[in-house]
Amino acid sequence: MNINFHHGCTYYTKESGIDGSKQSIKIGCDYQHFWDEGHYYTDKILEHHVKLAINDFINQNPDTKVWCSYFGKWYKHNEGEFKEHGSFHSFEGKRKW
């Protein structure tokens, strides 16, 4: 898998997954590890990098489910929408909210 991170993935952890339950993974990158210490990144630059990484991941894993902050369940990314600050709202959760 080739995900567009700032100089590569430097954080990875698995959550849950015990006794057959669904598993979630957290992945990310560190902006102070590749000779860029002291460099200032604006919110817009970070947002751009995060959106690239999310889009790369979803395009390579189209069946991956996303946690709905409205309803507290997992949904495919086409069963809802990502909001401005990165939260995901399922269409079902939005109707019930």
Quote the pLDDT of residue 80. 92
Quote the pLDDT of residue 34. 63
Task: Write the pLDDT tens digit of every residue in 41-69.
Answer: 888 888 888 888 888 888 888 888 888 88
Q: Tokens standing for 30? A: 């560190």
Assess contact for 10 and 3: CB atoms under 8 A. no
Q: How far is CA 7 from the centre of its chain?
A: 17
Assess contact for 86 and 49: CB atoms under 8 A. no
Percent of the chain with pLDDT over 90: 5
